[in-house]
């Protein structure tokens, strides 16, 4: 499991080096198997500077090349051969200097070297945005605003986020730590035991409200054993678009590819809080009805990856009034998901039976981020909180309104699990006596609550 240190520090401000935090996490039982550097722009734009094109002439030996003189903040301008059709005198451009490493589309590095192109020396490269990792366009060189001074490092023009990413070997019994908040909670506990001040701040949902209940959805849970809690709401007047850079960077840091702002928001909350969510295109939900049930053995269903699968009668499904739309807790369907034309969604947040999800995922050979969490057991009490958090995030990055009341069907309440701690037994196991207030501090730091204390031996 990958955990972004920058992301975690949004909930738990911490000035420690990543290596030191990783050591503490390992001591706490969340073994950090490695720490990887991440840059939102591969290479961090090192060696790329602002250049001013002072002259631009036709290359004497090539029709499609230009010979330029470029001021890059040194004593003398440098000569650069450029093949871009839009290069011109007077432009402000990014220049990769000699020795700079750039990366191709597959992430392989290559170095800028001094060389001759058709008989003329070239001391660097004027770059397009895709060559720098700043976009996908290769129509021509990237032209910048004129106010930038020659020689200014390009990373001062474009924000490059540097991060450290923990690879945590999560054991099956640590379902509570399957998120950035869960790991931050453990780290906060460890800091408290070292008498380090640390305030854990979960994402706020105080701004959540229902704007207008104009698009209600009827939800029927026919299998309460498979779905003890099922919640949802609708959002309308959305604009599907690429996510903002900050969100894309968070997902890229942990190895996810951004898709669009709606899907990215559900993935973000999943990795932030550990609660899987799913967004259905509301216009594709027949009769605005959601039915949670199992279908007859052998029913065919095409999943998001385009594969037609034969369902087992044991597979829990999310359906509308006429058709299946999603394998509950495992994988979405090809025809009900969010597309570029989506303007309204039904947003689902649920607690599904871990055993059922594990069997379904194994049966179909599917291992998704959602099934990974559902089959290990998520926090049933967090279902509606995560739903509201996701709704607020979607509104922030895609606009729209909450257009239904929050639907919350909880057929089976989550039961609390009291833990009984016998001090004498604890002392005998560890071979020494720990001050009882220290033990209490341990538990409180993990957000446990003391229900009662007895004097029984």
Asked if the structure places residue 273 within a domain, the reply is: yes
Q: What is the model's pTM?
A: 0.86
Determine the pLDDT at residue 415. Answer: 67
Cβ atoms < 10 Å from Cβ of 30:
23
Binned at pLDDT 50, 70 and 90, residue 223 comes out as: very high
User: Which residues are paired to 279 by β-bridges?
Assistant: 347
Binned at pLDDT 50, 70 and 90, residue 230 comes out as: very high
d(CA 7, CA 320): 36
Could you list the residue range(s) of the whole structural domain that residue 172 is in? Answer: 2-39+163-193
What is the tally of structural domains in the chain? 4
Binned at pLDDT 50, 70 and 90, residue 194 comes out as: confident
Summarize the confidence of residues 23-36 as an average pLDDT: 95
Summarised one tens digit per residue, pLDDT across range 370-402 is 999 999 999 999 999 999 999 999 999 999 999
**Same domain assignment for residues 385 and 293:** yes
Q: Write the CATH number for 168.
A: 3.30.56.10
Summarised one tens digit per residue, pLDDT across range 117-150 is 999 999 999 999 999 988 888 889 999 999 999 9
Q: Which class for 181: exposed (0-12), middle (13-18), buried (19 or more C-beta within 10 A)?
A: buried
More confident residue, 413 or 297: 297
Q: Write the CATH number for 131.
A: 2.40.50.140
Q: What is the mean pLDDT of the chain?
A: 93
**Same domain assignment for residues 310 and 384:** yes
Summarised one tens digit per residue, pLDDT across range 72-118 is 999 999 999 999 999 999 999 999 999 999 998 777 899 999 999 99
Provide, rounded to the nearest whole percent, the portion of the chain with pLDDT above 70: 96
**Same domain assignment for residues 239 and 334:** yes
**Same domain assignment for residues 151 and 168:** no
Q: What is the CA radius of gyration of the chain?
A: 27
Determine the pLDDT at residue 445. Answer: 66
Summarize the confidence of residues 5-20 as an average pLDDT: 95
**Same domain assignment for residues 177 and 89:** no
More confident residue, 329 or 450: 329
**Same domain assignment for residues 387 and 447:** no
Per DSSP bridges, beta strands 401-402 and 331-332 are: unpaired
Binned at pLDDT 50, 70 and 90, residue 446 comes out as: low
Asked if the structure places residue 209 within a domain, the reply is: no
Asked if the structure places residue 206 within a domain, the reply is: no
**Same domain assignment for residues 276 and 353:** yes
**Same domain assignment for residues 296 and 431:** no
**Same domain assignment for residues 80 and 182:** no
**Same domain assignment for residues 27 and 171:** yes
More confident residue, 237 or 420: 237
Determine the pLDDT at residue 457. Answer: 44
Residue with tokens 């004497």: 60
Binned at pLDDT 50, 70 and 90, residue 421 comes out as: confident
Determine the pLDDT at residue 105. Answer: 76
**Same domain assignment for residues 12 and 132:** no
């Amino acid at each position: 499991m990958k955990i972004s240190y920058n992301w975690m520090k949004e909930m738990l401000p911490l000035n420690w080096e990543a290596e030191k935090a990783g050591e503490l996490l390992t001591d706490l039982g969340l073994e950090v198997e490695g720490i990887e550097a991440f840059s939102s722009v591969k290479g961090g734009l090192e060696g790329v500077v602002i250049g001013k094109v002072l002259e631009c002439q036709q290359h004497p030996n090539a029709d499609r090349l230009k010979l330029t003189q470029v001021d890059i903040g040194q004593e003398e301008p440098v000569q650069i051969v450029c093949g871009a059709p839009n290069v011109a005198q007077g432009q402000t451009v990014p220049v990769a200097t000699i020795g700079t490493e750039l990366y191709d589309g597959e992430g392989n590095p290559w170095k800028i070297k001094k060389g001759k192109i058709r008989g003329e020396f070239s001391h660097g490269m004027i770059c397009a945005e895709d060559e720098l990792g700043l976009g996908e366009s290769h129509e021509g060189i990237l032209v910048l605003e004129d106010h930038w001074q020659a020689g200014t490092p390009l990373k001062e023009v474009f924000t490059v986020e540097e991060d450290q990413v923990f690879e945590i070997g999560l054991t099956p019994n640590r379902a509570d730590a399957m998120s950035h908040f869960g790991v931050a909670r453990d780290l906060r506990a460890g800091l408290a035991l070292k008498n380090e001040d640390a305030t854990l701040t979960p994402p706020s949902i105080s701004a959540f409200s229902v704007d207008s209940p104009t698009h209600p959805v009827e939800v029927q849970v026919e299998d309460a054993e498979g779905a003890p809690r099922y919640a949802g709401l609708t959002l309308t007047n959305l604009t599907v678009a690429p996510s903002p850079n900050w969100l894309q960077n968070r997902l890229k840091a942990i190895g996810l590819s951004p898709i669009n702002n709606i899907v990215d928001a559900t993935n973000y909350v999943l990795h932030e809080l550990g609660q899987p969510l799913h967004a259905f295109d509301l216009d594709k939900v027949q009769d605005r009805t959601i039915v949670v049930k199992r279908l007859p053995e052998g029913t065919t269903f095409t999943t998001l990856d385009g594969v037609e699968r034969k369902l087992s009668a044991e597979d829990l499904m999310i359906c509308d009034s006429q058709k299946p739309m999603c394998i509950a807790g495992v994988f979405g369907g090809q025809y009900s998901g969010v597309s570029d034309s989506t303007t309204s969604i039904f947003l689902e947040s649920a607690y599904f039976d871990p055993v059922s999800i594990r069997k379904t995922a194994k049966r179909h050979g599917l291992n998704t981020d959602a099934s990974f969490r559902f089959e290990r057991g998520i926090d049933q009490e967090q279902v509606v909180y995560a739903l509201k958090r996701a709704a607020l995030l979607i509104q922030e990055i895609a606009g729209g309104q909450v257009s239904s009341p929050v639907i919350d069907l909880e057929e089976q309440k989550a039961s609390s699990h009291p833990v009984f701690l016998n001090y004498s037994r604890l002392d005998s196991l560890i071979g020494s006596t720990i001050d009882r207030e220290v033990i209490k501090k341990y538990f409180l730091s993990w957000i446990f609550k003391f229900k009662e204390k007895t004097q029984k031996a």
